[in-house]
Amino acid sequence: MRSPTSIVTLLVAAMICAPIRITAQCRYCGLPILQLPAGARPLGLGGAYVAGDGPDAVFYNPAQVGAGHGSTVNVARAGGATLGEFATTGSMGPLGVGAGFRFSSRGGAAVTPADQLPGGEMVAVVAAATRTHGIWVGASASFVNADLAESGGGAAFGAGVAARVLGLRVGVSGENIGSDIGAAGLPTTISVGVELPSVSLGTYVDLTGSLAVSRERDGGVFPKGGVEMSYEPVSGWTFTGRVGMRRAPLESGRIPQSALVLGGSFGLDAIAVDYAFSPARGGVPATHSLGLRIQ
Phi/psi of residue 156, nearest 5 degrees: -135, 155
> How confident is the model at residue 189, as a pLDDT?
86
> How confident is the model at residue 186, as a pLDDT?
63
> How confident is the model at residue 223, as a pLDDT?
95
What tens digit of pLDDT does each residue of 59-105 get?
Answer: 999 999 987 789 999 999 877 778 999 999 999 989 999 999 998 88
Question: Which DSSP category does 38 fall into?
Answer: P
The more confidently predicted of residues 192 and 109 is: 192
Q: How far apart are CA 231 and CA 181, in angstroms?
A: 45
Average pLDDT over all residues of the chain: 81
Neighbours of 34 (CB within 10 A): 22
What tens digit of pLDDT does each residue of 147-159 get?
Answer: 666 666 778 899 9
> How confident is the model at residue 69, as a pLDDT?
87
Residue 26 pLDDT > 70: no
> How confident is the model at residue 104, as a pLDDT?
85
> How confident is the model at residue 114, as a pLDDT?
40
CATH class of 4-294: mainly beta
Residue 13 pLDDT > 50: no
User: Predicted confidence band at 137 (pLDDT cuts at 50, 70, 90)?
Assistant: very high
Residue 133 pLDDT > 70: yes
- Longest Cα pair distance anywhere in the chain, in angstroms? 55
Contacts of 138 (CB under 8 A, 6+ apart): 61, 62, 63, 64, 65, 66, 96, 127, 128, 129, 130, 159, 160, 161, 162
pTM of this prediction exceeds 0.85: no
Closest by Cα among 186, 226, 193 to 208: 226
Identity of the residue numbered 257: Q
Write b or e for each residue in 133-164: b if 16 or more Cβ atoms lie within 10 A of its Cβ, otherwise e: eebbbbbbebbbbbebeeeebbebbbbbbbbe
Q: Where are the domains of the chain?
A: 4-294
User: Predicted confidence band at 258 (pLDDT cuts at 50, 70, 90)?
Assistant: confident
Q: How far apart are CA 101 and CA 84, in angstroms?
A: 8
